Amino acid sequence: MKKLFFIAFMATTAVATAQSDLAGFHYGAKAGIGESNFTGGGLTDVTGRLLVMGGFSASYNFNSNFGIAAEFLGTSKGSNNNGKTFVAGPLGGGTDYAYTDRYRTIDIEIPLLPRFTIGRDGFYFQAFAGPAINFNVFGVTSRTYEDENYNTNNGYAEQPMSNLNTSSLSAVYGVGLLVLAPNYQLFSVDVRFNQGLSSFGTFNGQEAKHSYFAISVGYAL
């Protein structure tokens, strides 16, 4: 009887521990790298650019299965767009000059992410999804023509983008892994996607949206 009681007590303790070891408040830092792109805006031949992000994170876990996280991230987003400029000749006809436009924006991104976790023994799989508000800090654009002679007088570099909105909304979602160390330090890695829900600015008189894919790592106490 005593053995049964002892086994039941240990099992109950183990379950309670497994259900509560992630519970509570955590805060720390997060950084990531990926690829970003712009969609819309009349941009027809776009390619992605390197995305870099970093900042702070805070989370509260109600138990080992459900929590909510908030992040404050500086993000460097961008996109390339290829096009042509037609210059008419003096006697008819003309020449197409191919160019590449390069766009770069710096944003403050604040996601609010409900998350579901499942696991044991300090290793947890997580899935998360939620909205984010993005504040545009500044943006620059450059244009480079393939023809060096034409580019000398018509190309430009690092000009301010004046067509940016103050803020925009996006959806963030992804999956990842959480590792809880014995000293209650929390390490994380995740794969995330960010899809623009509202316009961050206009190009050619048309609205454009952000999107990106990133891998991020985090450390929290």
CA distance 213 to 102: 19
> Is 217 buried (19+), middle (13-18) or exposed (0-12) by CB count in 10 A?
middle
Q: Is the pLDDT of residue 15 over 50?
A: no
Q: With beta carbons less than 8 A apart as the criterion, state whether 82 and 105 touch.
A: no
Residue spans per domain, the chain: 25-220
> Which stretch, 84-93, 149-158, 199-208, has highest mean pLDDT?
149-158
Write the pLDDT tens digit of every residue in 48-63: 999 999 999 999 999 9
CA distance 59 to 123: 17
Write the pLDDT tens digit of every residue in 136-174: 999 999 999 999 999 999 999 999 998 899 999 999 999
CA distance 172 to 129: 6
pLDDT of residue 126: 97
Q: Is the pLDDT of residue 72 over 90?
A: yes
The residue written with tokens 């018509």 in the block is: 154
pLDDT of residue 33: 98
Q: What percent of the chain has pLDDT over 70?
A: 91
Instruction: Record the pTM.
Output: 0.84
Q: Is the pLDDT of residue 4 over 90?
A: no
pLDDT of residue 182: 86
Q: With beta carbons less than 8 A apart as the criterion, state whether 209 and 180 touch.
A: no
> Average pLDDT, whole number, for the chain?
90
* pLDDT band of 94, cuts 50, 70, 90: very high
87 DSSP 8-state letter: E
- What CATH class does 25-220 carry? mainly beta
Tell me the DSSP string of 78-112: EEEEEEEEEEE-BTB-EEEEEEEEEEEEEEEEEEE
Question: Beta-carbon neighbour count of residue 4 at 10 Å?
Answer: 8
Q: Indicate the SS3 state at residue 180.
A: strand
* pLDDT band of 22, cuts 50, 70, 90: confident
pLDDT of residue 92: 84
